[in-house]
A and B are shown apart, each in its own frame.
Chain A
Amino acid sequence: MRVGFDVSQTGAGKTGCGYLAHGLVHALAAGPQPPDFVCYPQFGDLFWEPAPASCARPGGGALGPMFKWLDSSRRFWRNPPQDFEARLGDPDIVHSNNFFCPKGLGKARLVYTLHDLSFLTNPEWSTEQNRVGCMEGVFRASLLADALLANSQATLDHFLRVFPHFPRERAWVMHLASRFGPGCPSEQPKRLRGVEPGKFWLSVGTIEPRKNQVRLVEALARAGGSAPLVLAGGKGWLMDDMARLVAELGLGSRVRLTGYVGDAELAWLYANCLGFVYPSLFEGFGLPVLEAMSLGAPVVTSNVSSLPEVAGGAALLADPLDPESIAEAMRRLESDPELRAALSRRSLERAAQFGWDKAARVASEAYKAALSLPKRNPAP
C-alpha cells in the first residue's frame, strides 16, 4: 500500500493539526505493516511551510512534488494537471491533514482528517481567508472523501449534522494522543523564576477569543486566592484587550504571560501546576487537556464541544460562558488537596487510554475500508 501523506503542518511551529499529522505518520511507520509513504511537505493552497525540510518524513521516504514559489504550488493543487497522480507518486491513498481537499484524483482514494468545524458556527474566530479555505476543503471532502477521520465524536457529529449526505460508514473517530508522559524532560521556564511549583494556575493557548482567556481572567478575580495564573502561548490578536482587562481587574501581578514556550518548559508547567484551567469555547479535540492529563495535572475545562469527551469524567467541567462557574471550580480545587490528588490520579489514568498506536490502528482500518469500498465521485 502506497500512502501519499500530507505533512505540510509538521514543520517547526506545530499546532494541533501538525501534532496530529506528525504523531500519526510516525505511529503508522512504526506499526506492524507500515505502508510506503510519499510525503507532501507542500500540500494544497492554504498552508505554506517556509522550511519544508523540517517536515516529518518517516524512514526518509519519497517526497511529493516540491515548488519554489507559493503561486506555482497553488496552481498545481487548485488546477490539477493531466499527470496529477503520477506527480503525486502514484499513491493508492492520498491522506489530507490540513483542511485542503484535492480534486482530480481518478484512482487514488482520498482520506481526509477533519480537525474542527468552528468556522461554521463562529466564523469571526478566524481570518476570512482561512475560513474560505476551510469551508472549501470541508465541503469538497464531504463529496469526495473515501474515508473521513474525525478527531473526536463531537466533531464527527457536527460534520454529519451539517453534511447529512456523507455516508456514515465511511467516517471514523480517531483521537489524538499526548506527546508528553511521566519522565519526559522538563525545565522551569526562565521567565517564571518567581513562580513556585504547585502554586500557580496554568492555561495554554494563543490569546484569542475562542480560547476564552478573558473569562478565565475574570474567573481568577472572582475565585480569590493568591495563586498566579500562567498563560503559556503565543500572543494572539486580542493582546491589547487582554492587557486592559488585566489592569482593570487589578490582576497585574497575578497574570503571567510566558509567550511561546518550548516542550521541556511546557512539560514542567503541566507537571507542576496547581490546576490546568482550559475554559475554551470550542475545540475540535482539545489537545492541551490531554497533554495536561498525561503529566498528572488536575484539569478544569469546559462542558462544550469535544472537551467532555476528552476529559472523560477525569476533570471538573464548567460553563465557559459563565466566569462564576469557572471560578467555582477553581475555588473547589484550591481549597481541597484531596480532590486535587484524586483528579491528578484520574488524569493519568485517562491519558493512558490515548495513544498514537491507537490512532494508527484507526487510520489503518480506514485505509483498508477506503481501498475496498468503491471510489466516490472519481475525477474523469
Chain B
Amino acid sequence: MNTESFKDVIRDITTGFRAEAPLPAWFDRLLMLNQRLWRWWDLGWRALRRLVPALAVDRRPGETPLIGVDLLPLLPGGANGGAKVLAINALEAMAALAPDWTFVLVTGEASVAELKELECANLKVIPAQRSWQVKPPRRLLGRPVDAWFCPFTRPYFQHPETPLVSLVHDLQHHYYPQFFSEEERRGRDQTYQLVARRATLVACVSDYVRATVLDYTNLPPRKVRTVFTRLPERLNPPGEAQIEAVLARQGLTRQGYLIYPANFWPHKNHAVLLTALGLHAATNPGSGLKLVLTGADTGAAAELRQAAQAMNLGERVLFTGYVSDEDLAALTSGALALIFPSLFEGYGMPVAEAMAMGVPVLCSNVTSLPEVGGEAVLLFDPRKPEDVAAAMTRIAVEPGLAAELSQKGRARAASFGGSQRMARDYLDLLDEAMRRLGVQSHVCEGVSADGVGGRVFAAFGPAPGRQWIEARFRNEGSAPVACEALLDGKLVSPRREIAPGSEWKLDRLASPYGGCLEINFDIPPGHDTVPGIRCLALRLTGGQTCDLLRSSQC
C-alpha cells in the first residue's frame, strides 16, 4: 500500500472539500437512493446547462475565463503592508500577460477609487455588494465566474461551486501567538480553516510558508503550491541626483548608515536592533554608523524613539516615518547596507529589492529569509544582539565585504526573474484550478492488468465534479469464482459466482465527498492471485476520468 497516497485521500476527505456542488447536498443524497433516476437527472442537467447559456456555471474554461479577485480586505494607503504590493503587482502583470482572460476586482467602497487606476480592457473593478457575503454571486458583470483568486487569503464571496485559489502569506499567529490579540488569532484561525475546506489550490509565497502550511493544516501536499514571490524590480533604481537630494534632506551621508524598512510591529524585532547598535557603538567608538528606520509613526514608534534617546543613540537613529516608494528607493540605494532583523517573514520583500539595487543585505537566518537571501546575504541570529552587532561591525570595517555582497545580491535578484514569471505561475495555477487537473486523490491495491489478488481496495478523495465508479472483471479461467463488493462499507453487490467466460460489472454513483470500494474474491489456498480473473476496467468517471487500475499497486 502506498501510504503517502493513502494519507492524501484521508486528508482530502477530512478537509470536507467538495469541488462542485450543483445541488444541495440533501438533494444529491435523495437522488443517490435511486441509481437510475440519478443518472437520468445528471444527463439531463448537463444537457440543459449546455443548451441554456444562463445555466452554464460549470462551463469548461479555456477560451475566455473570467476570474473574480477577492480584494475585500484591501485598504487605501500602506496599512496592508507587503501583501497589497504583491497583489497589485501580480494582478497588473497577469492582466497584461493574459489579454483573453478577464479579471474582476471586487473590493470595498473605500478602495474602489484607488483601484480604478489599474483598470484596463480586461481588468475591471467593482464594489462588493453587501448581500454577497450571505449569497455568493456565481456571475459577475453578467458572466459566470470561472474561478476566484484570493490574494488576501480569505474567500468572502466564493460560491462553493467555483474553483478557488487562495494565497497564504504566513502563519505567524501560530508561531508567535503573543503578537496577536485573542480576536485576531481567532479570526486568522478561521480564515485558514475556511481556506483548507474551500480552496481548490493553495498558493504560498515561499517554500518556507508552504512547509508551515503543510505542518499546520494537514492539507495534501499536492494541493499546496509555492509561487515564489518575484518582485525585485518593484522599486525603480533612483538617479544619483535623486539619492543626493533625499540624503541631504534627511541629513545623511552616503553609505554612512544602515536602513531597516519595516513597520513597528513586534515581530520586526526593533528592540534587539537598537541593543545591537548600542553594542556596536560601544565596541567601535570611532564608528559613526547611523540607523534609518522607516515605517509609519505609531505608538510603538514613539516608544522606540524614546528608547533610542535613553540609550544615547538619539543622534544615530533616524525615524523617517512612512516614506514614498521613490524616497525609499533613494534611501536604500544610499545605504551602506540594508539590515533586516525580523523574527518572522513569509517572504521579505525589502531583502529582494535591496539585492536588486546592489545594496548589501544583512538579515536574519530564520523563516523565509535564508530562502530569499541565499548565499548573497550576511546572515545573523536575530535573537542574539551580539550576533547582530557583529554583522554591523563586519560590514562597517571589513574591506571588500560590501562590494562582494552587492555583486552577489545583484546576481541573485537577477536569477529570480521578474513579476512576469510570477504572474505566469499564478495564471498556470488558476488554469489548473479551473480545469481541476490532478486534483483528485486516489489509491488502489490488490489489482493489476496481469492479475487480481483476493481483495481489491480502492480509496478516492472528493470529486472534481460528480463521480461514478466503474469496475469490470472477466473470468478467463475454467472454474467459477465468487465475489462481493462493498462501497463505503456498504454491501452494494452481494456475493455471487462469476461463471467461466462471463463478466462481472459494477457501476455506481460514488459519494462526491470521497469514499472507498472493496471487492472480495474467493481465493483458493496457496494462491497469490485469483486464477483466471482479469480486471478489464477499474476507474472513476464523471467530471474527469481517473484510472485506478493503472495506479494500483499489488
Contact = CB atoms under 8 A, between A and B. Distances in A.
Nearest to B344: A128
A314 to B, nearest CB: 32
A136 B176 CA distance: 14
Interface in B100-123: none
Contacts of A142: 311
A121 interface: yes
Give the interface residue-count category, chain B.
Answer: 20 to 34
Select the residue from B182, B282, B343, B383 with max chain A CB neighbours within 10 A. B383
Contacts of B279: 161-162, 164
A163 interface: yes
B178 A165 contact: no
A254 interface: no
Contacts of B386: 120-121, 162
B178 A133 contact: yes
Nearest to B381: A123
Nearest to B306: A377
**Those 5 A-B pairs whose CB atoms lie nearest each other, nearest first:** A123-B383, A164-B282, A165-B311, A139-B271, A143-B310
A132 B312 CA distance: 24
B275 A163 contact: yes
A40 B260 CA distance: 39
Interface of B: 175-178, 182, 266, 271-272, 274-275, 278-279, 282, 303, 306-307, 310-313, 343, 381, 383-386
Contacts of A162: 275, 279, 385-386
A75 to B, nearest CB: 9
Nearest to B177: A129
B181 to A, nearest CB: 9
Interface of A: 45, 71, 103, 119-121, 123, 128-129, 131-133, 135-136, 139, 142-143, 161-165, 376-377
B384 A135 contact: no
Contact of A71 (B182, B303, B306): B182
B271 A136 contact: yes
Nearest to B272: A135
A103 B302 CA distance: 13
A273 B278 CA distance: 47
A71 B182 CA distance: 8
Contacts of B381: 123
A131 B278 contact: no
Contact of B311 (A45, A128, A133, A143): A143
A45 B386 CA distance: 26
Contacts of B385: 120, 162
A133 B176 CA distance: 11
Contacts of B313: 165
Given A121-B384, A121-B386, A143 B307 contact: yes
Given A123-B384, A162-B386, A376-B310, A132 B178 contact: yes
Contacts of B275: 139, 162-163
Nearest to A130: B178
A160 to B, nearest CB: 10
Given A71-B182, A120-B386, A143-B310, A132 B278 contact: no
B212 to A, nearest CB: 14
B344 to A, nearest CB: 10
Contact of A129 (B178, B282, B307): B178
A103 to B, nearest CB: 8
Contacts of A133: 178
Contacts of A377: 306, 310
B176 A165 contact: no
27 contacts: A45-B178, A71-B182, A119-B383, A120-B383, A120-B384, A120-B386, A121-B384, A123-B383, A128-B175, A132-B266, A132-B343, A133-B178, A135-B271, A135-B383, A136-B271, A139-B271, A139-B307, A142-B311, A143-B306, A161-B279, A162-B386, A163-B278, A163-B311, A164-B279, A165-B278, A377-B306, A377-B310
A307 to B, nearest CB: 21
Nearest to B276: A162
Contacts of A163: 275, 278, 311
Contacts of B271: 135-136, 139
Contacts of A165: 278, 310-313
A120 B311 CA distance: 18
A52 B16 CA distance: 44
A139 B381 CA distance: 17
Select the residue from A71, A129, A136, A165 with max chain B CB neighbours within 10 A. A165
Contacts of A129: 176-178
B375 to A, nearest CB: 24
Contacts of A136: 271
Nearest to A165: B311
A133 to B, nearest CB: 7
Contacts of A45: 178
A133 B383 CA distance: 12
B307 A164 contact: no
A103 B307 CA distance: 12
Contacts of B274: 139
Contacts of B175: 128
Nearest to A132: B178
